[in-house]
């Protein structure tokens, strides 16, 4: 099931099949973006609502014109700076792209992944790929081929192994309103880096346009998760259940507690981003009663990580 053979992956895709697909952000469930059969298979595999758009992946900028129209100047600036890379642009779609991909909207989400195996496969195909994250809807995103295989052991015939994902968080999604740049999803490119390229941006605040990754509850482990600014205060109101305490830097001065797994990211936001989902997978397999995450500094990738753990949280 898990392989590095892109020729086998190409064969599955050319027959409207679905594969596990590595990128630098997270693994995707990939299928032919021009095949309604493949697109519907992805929605069914993920149990994903049809009103949640998909991201189209291409190998190079010269493939963009086939699926989009009227790319704004600021979109070109961002593409020149960040592609290939973890940036998704919301652009006016061409008539080649099905409304099923875009949830009936006039914009399509598109990106060029920065992963050698993904690019090799895309370059070999005569069609782009749609590839939402390779997990059941609202579950933890996968950052290894094994994560994908564990999720879809009986549904996928092939997972293309590209190693562990370098970035570990989904792409940043950016749209355009007249001359304004709008962030629809925080991701692996920090907000500050986007603004350094195109100037001040707006954050999506309830706009009608739907974008991938906008669900309020998402990225959720099976184990209940709490996000807090004060770990000691949370511990005072919880009994001595089996738990994990995850901190950005300094662990609390309570390390003699029983039934507790402690983890620190040692104050490194890049490391935390790349490790977050794999840690959630590991902790979810420990048969714990609860996960307690310290809120991260709200700067750079810390904003993205806070977004993810808060959406994963069932308890506030």
Instruction: State the pLDDT confidence band at 316, using cuts at 50, 70 and 90.
Output: very low
Q: What is the pLDDT of residues 127-141, one digit of tens each?
A: 999 999 999 999 999
**Ramachandran region, residue 180 (left: φ > 0; alpha: ψ -120 to 50; beta: rest):** beta
Q: What is the pLDDT of residues 190-242, one digit of tens each?
A: 999 999 999 999 998 766 667 786 666 778 999 999 999 998 888 888 777 79
Q: What is the pLDDT of residues 40-50, one digit of tens each?
A: 999 999 999 99
Specify the CATH number of the domain 2-203. 3.90.870.10
Q: Which one is predicted more confidently, 5 or 236? A: 5
Q: What is the pLDDT of residues 219-230, one digit of tens each?
A: 899 999 999 999
**Average pLDDT rounded to a whole number, residues 267-296:** 96
CATH class of 225-312: alpha beta
Domain with CATH 3.40.50.11030 in the chain: 225-312
Domain with CATH 3.90.870.10 in the chain: 2-203
Give the whole-angstrom CA distance, residue 166 versus residue 146.
Answer: 15
Q: What pLDDT was estimated at residue 315?
A: 53
Q: What is the pLDDT of residues 6-54, one digit of tens each?
A: 999 999 999 999 999 999 999 999 999 999 999 999 999 999 999 999 9
Q: What is the pLDDT of residues 55-77, one digit of tens each?
A: 999 999 999 999 999 899 999 99
- Spatial contact of 19 and 107, defined as CB atoms under 8 Å apart: no
Q: Which one is predicted more confidently, 252 or 139? A: 139
State the Cα torsion 264-135-286-295 to the nearest 10°: 30
pTM: 0.95
- Spatial contact of 180 and 205, defined as CB atoms under 8 Å apart: no
Instruction: State the pLDDT confidence band at 258, using cuts at 50, 70 and 90.
Output: confident
Q: Across all residues in the chain, what is the average pLDDT?
A: 93
């Amino acid at each position: 099931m898990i392989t590095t053979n892109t020729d086998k992956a190409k064969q599955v895709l050319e027959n409207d099949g679905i594969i596990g697909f590595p990128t630098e952000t997270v693994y995707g469930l990939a299928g032919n973006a021009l095949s309604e059969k493949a697109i519907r298979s992805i929605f069914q595999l993920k149990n994903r609502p049809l009103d949640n758009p998909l991201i189209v992946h291409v190998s190079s900028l010269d493939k963009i014109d086939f699926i989009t129209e009227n790319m704004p100047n600021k979109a070109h600036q961002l593409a020149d700076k960040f592609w290939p890379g973890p940036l998704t642009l919301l652009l006016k779609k061409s008539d080649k792209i099905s409304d099923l991909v875009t949830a009936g909207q006039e914009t399509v989400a598109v990106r060029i992944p920065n992963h050698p195996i993904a690019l090799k496969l895309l370059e070999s195909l005569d069609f782009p790929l749609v590839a939402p994250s390779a997990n059941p809807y609202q579950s933890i995103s996968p950052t290894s081929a094994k994560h994908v295989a564990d999720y879809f052991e009986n549904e996928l015939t092939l997972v293309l192994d590209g190693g562990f994902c370098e970035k570990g968080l989904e792409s940043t999604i950016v749209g355009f309103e007249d001359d304004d740049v709008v962030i629809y999803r925080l991701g692996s490119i920090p907000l500050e880096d986007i603004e350094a390229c195109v100037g001040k941006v707006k954050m999506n605040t309830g706009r009608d346009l739907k974008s991938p990754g906008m669900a309020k509850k998402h990225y959720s482990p099976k184990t209940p998760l709490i996000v807090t600014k004060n770990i000691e205060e949370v511990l005072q109101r919880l009994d001595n259940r089996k738990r994990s305490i995850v901190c950005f830097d300094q662990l609390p001065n309570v390390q003699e507690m029983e039934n507790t797994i402690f983890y620190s990211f040692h104050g490194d936001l890049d490391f935390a981003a790349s490790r977050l989902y794999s840690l959630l997978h590991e902790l979810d397999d420990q048969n714990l009663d609860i996960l307690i995450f310290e809120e991260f500094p709200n700067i750079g990738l810390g904003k993205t990580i806070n977004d993810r753990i808060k959406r994963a949280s069932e308890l506030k």
